[in-house]
Structure 1
Amino acid sequence: MELSPDLLLHGYSIGIFPMAAHRNDPEVFWVDPRRRGIFPLDRFHISRSLARRMRRGGYRIALNEDFAGVVDGCADRAETWINAEIREIYIELFRRGSAHSLEVWQDGQLTGGVYGVTLGAAFFGESMFSRRTDASKIALAHLVDHLRQAGFQLFDTQFLTDHLASLGAMEISRAEYHRRLERALPRAADFLGPALGTPQDVIQRNTQTS
């Protein structure tokens, strides 16, 4: 199957997403999980240890400064579903304004981040990576807060992992996911609209709403 940006966006709009078996596999297949992972945007769990780490600072959060670098960071592991075709398609979606990254920078280096696709008020999280302790947790804390401030209603994580569950992610049925997707798609959200929250902002807002 040959992917295109328009085909990819259509897939997301009907609840499916592409994967490859591994980085060297030229074939891409569509996935429609029976159980879907999501992050309720009002229940991200910032642990005491993560709050302490965020208050210490020493990092900078940015949007879209190095989208390709985030994709490559996510693919830089022993096993990955990001092959060359998927990499290029997401970079093209970024050029079109339909894909975005949130990045953690420390000492001038990209040390963590997450990227995904936006449609309406839905954010489809694709993958995340971390090169320093807690960088992916910091990225998720800032991303959940930013999505809420930007008017998003659905944060799709595709699958539920123990790591995501520890931060407040949950699993829902395919039917429930489609109901939430249908509600989110017609609504408007602007990923680049609001300013990024400071660590103190993010901690306070999540404490107030969780």
Structure 2
Amino acid sequence: MTDYPPEPWHLAGQAHLSVWLLPVARLPKLPEGAEPLVAGGHAPVCTAWFDYRAPGQLTYHELLCATAIRGGLAASITDIWVDSASSRAGGRELWGIPKDLATLDFTGDRTFTAAAATAGGWIATAAFTRRAGLPAALPTRFEIAQALGGRLKRSPVSSRAKLHAAAADWSINPSGPLGFLAGRRPIVSAQLRDFKLVFGAEPTPSRRSE
């Protein structure tokens, strides 16, 4: 099945993420027109595991890697895998997100483990242990910038989640697509509990002719 909802997508679930600092020379390639957010010769890169659940419009697993870019609170997704053909098709066709299919295995909650692999080999594994968190859900707004139709498309994202600190232990295949992170450690990790997320823009009302 490759049918998918029109944008915006209303999604919900649990997420575990880590932020890394990479030298500019080691950054993955960004779309034309996207400039990395650089300080001291390094740029922040985020890797995240998403477990999309009901009552969201789609249910699937995801591993992504995104680089922070200039122009407000924004990032560009350079590598991403899902275990849903519908999510893959919608991500590519609506927003230019380069989703590929993979096998993703998630277990646990307070202690969360995840693994991603394709027919070509394993991509990454990770183990997260949840720490202290905030009692209330926090709102966030940002943009995702991707190449679509020969231009840079910036799509709005809004979310609300309970933020928890986390300890994370990543293992990344040095010969795999995330090999630029192999041997490095994230500077901070977190769990986003019970998130609600809206990805994409509301359709523009069409004008009726007089």
TM-score strictly above 0.5: no
More strand by share: 2
Larger radius of gyration: 2
Please report the TM-score for the alignment, with normalisation by the length of structure 1: 0.28
More helix by share: 1
Please report the TM-score for the alignment, with normalisation by the length of structure 2: 0.28
